[in-house]
Amino acid sequence: MQRTALAQDTETETERDAISQDLRYLTGSEAAGRLSGTDGARRASVYLAQALEDLGLTPAGNDGYFRWLDVAAARLTGPARLKATIASDVTGSAKTRTYQHRKDFAEMSSLSSGGTVKAPLVVVTEEAQEESGLRPEDLKGKIALIPKRPAGFDFGATVTTAADLGVVALLVEMGEPAWFHKTVYGSPNNRIPVLRVTASLATELVAAAATAAAAGRSAGAADGGDGAANAAVRAAAPSPVEVEIDLPLSFQWLPCRNVLGLLPAGRLAGGHLPGSLMPSTHATSALTRTVAITAHFDHVGDDPAGPRFPGAMDNASGVATVLAVLRALAAPARRTRLPFNLLVGFLTGEESGLWGAKDLAAHPPRPLSAAINLDGIGFEPALRAIRLGRSAPGHWLADLAAETFQGLGIEVRWVTGTDDSAAFMNAGLSTLGLGQMATEPWPAAMHTPEDTAEVLHLSTIKEGADAILSLLDRLAARPARAF
């Protein structure tokens, strides 16, 4: 039967509504930024398991659609605070400044411990060490500020040195971003709170420290003292800036779950299983190839009593794309059944170390022949360019994808991903790490409250789903043993 243009329009409309609904739920307040180990992530996993069930996929976890695994991450358990009390002169009517988390400062989760500390500030610059004779022992028990990173600054080594010298917390200037990107990578070995601060905050603290220190020196000079006396006055004077940090950051392993469903070979999604096309038992046997299609559903989480982190592009968009692929596979008009099993994985713990992907690679419910991961799509009005997750041609799956996408007018970029595809590749799987590439300047919204569903283009996500469908069809056309 001839399908009318009107019917196609309605279909497109319906599909856009479905994509929009998935994005709305995943980026909404119920999902609360989907940080692994939180109630928000748990609710998102329930939503996704329900979606797989509605689409007729077979549960492929070890607890229905869920597969449990422990995920390590640095998670905030309360609001982060930074305060500075600045003596306006040496005789001291002090004023307290309270700074805004994410705007003025943010934890450097990969290097920071949690903790509550209150201590005098010491400003560490190359000049301070050379000219005013700042000695390592002056740092003990202090909160150190590096107001300007020297060339070749090694953040990790600096934190280690600071902690070894008895510094109780470290503030490091990191430019003037609109938002500090939130990260949740952590380590149990981190020893002191480490904060990124804006250049303007650093400048303010340096000026306050310098002004009060100069006042301290002139007070010493007025005593008629010599250089040694001045030094004694300076050492005896209380530090002009006292800093208070409350960083309830906790590095924990928490039980989390991947959401896994299987579309057996020869079957359409949605439970359509016409008798004539009933797969033989052989078709679903262990010998049948299984292709994983994955997207991480976790994100960095809303801040407790702070801004929301919807994680729309990262990676509600990838999840929504995979669901759109499944809905297309369920469409009654669809004729092509896949001759391989399709294992759908919505993965947890990507943001703190690719934990969900590592778990899937190590314990797949079926041996995997290939993995197609999707991370980040929909931020331009069209899908003009896509990364393949590989740095060069020469791998059969990437070459097939490149040919397929180029045939659809999509430019391919040979760029590796730092996302879940890296975990699959490290496990030796034939892997594609797909994600949209920017072709025009775009705001650095990743891991900020500005990564919202409102700015995503539903039609681009639909284009991504169509491109992946074409790729699956190309895979289906390959001889049974060709991958």
Measured CA to CA, the distance from residue 11 to residue 17 in angstroms comes to: 10
Q: Which is nearer to Zn ion, 107 or 314 (CB)?
A: 314
The one-letter amino acid code at 168 reads: V
Hey, which residues between 372 and 431 contact Zn ion (CB under 5 A)? Answer: none
Q: Which of 123, 94, 118, 120 is nearest to 201 (CA)?
A: 123
Q: What's the closest the beta carbon of residue 379 comes to Zn ion, in angstroms? A: 13
Euclidean distance between the first and final Cα of the chain, in Å? 36
Q: Which is nearer to Zn ion, 15 or 419 (CB)?
A: 419
Output the residue with the shortest Cβ distance to Zn ion: 314
Q: Which is nearer to Zn ion, 303 or 351 (CB)?
A: 351
Q: Cis (ω within 30 of 0) for the bond into 315?
A: yes
Build a one-symbol-per-residue string for 342-361: x at contacts with Zn ion by CB under 5 A, - elsewhere.
---------x----------
Q: What's the closest the beta carbon of residue 159 comes to Zn ion, in angstroms? A: 23
Token reading at 153? 């600054």
Beta bridge partners of 323: none
Q: What's the closest the beta carbon of residue 422 comes to Zn ion, in angstroms? A: 13
Measured CA to CA, the distance from residue 254 to residue 110 in angstroms comes to: 17
How many residues form the binding site for Zn ion (CB under 5 A)? 2
Q: Which of 143, 5, 147 is nearest to 82 (CA)?
A: 143
Whether 218 and 319 have beta carbons less than 8 Å apart is answered as: no
Q: Which is nearer to Zn ion, 302 or 351 (CB)?
A: 351
The one-letter amino acid code at 230 reads: N
Measured CA to CA, the distance from residue 345 to residue 461 in angstroms comes to: 18
Measured CA to CA, the distance from residue 437 to residue 415 in angstroms comes to: 9
Q: What's the closest the beta carbon of residue 189 comes to Zn ion, in angstroms? A: 23
Q: Which is nearer to Zn ion, 146 or 300 (CB)?
A: 300
Q: Which is nearer to Zn ion, 65 or 309 (CB)?
A: 309
Q: What's the closest the beta carbon of residue 111 comes to Zn ion, in angstroms? A: 18
Whether 380 and 440 have beta carbons less than 8 Å apart is answered as: yes
Whether 389 and 399 have beta carbons less than 8 Å apart is answered as: no
Q: How big is the CA angle at 328 (ends 66 and 43), to the nearest 5 degrees?
A: 30
Q: What's the closest the beta carbon of residue 356 comes to Zn ion, in angstroms? A: 13
With binding defined as CB under 5 A, does residue 451 bind Zn ion?
A: no
Q: Which is nearer to Zn ion, 193 or 376 (CB)?
A: 376
Is residue 33 classed exposed, middle or buried when 0-12, 13-18 and 19+ CB atoms within 10 A define those classes?
buried
Hey, which residues between 305 and 344 contact Zn ion (CB under 5 A)? Answer: 314
Q: Which is nearer to Zn ion, 83 or 181 (CB)?
A: 181
Q: What's the closest the beta carbon of residue 314 comes to Zn ion, in angstroms? A: 4
Q: What's the closest the beta carbon of residue 409 comes to Zn ion, in angstroms? A: 28
Measured CA to CA, the distance from residue 407 to residue 412 in angstroms comes to: 11
What SS3 class is residue 154? coil
Q: What's the closest the beta carbon of residue 352 comes to Zn ion, in angstroms? A: 10
Q: Which is nearer to Zn ion, 33 or 114 (CB)?
A: 33
**Binding residues vs Zn ion (CB under 5 A):** 314, 351
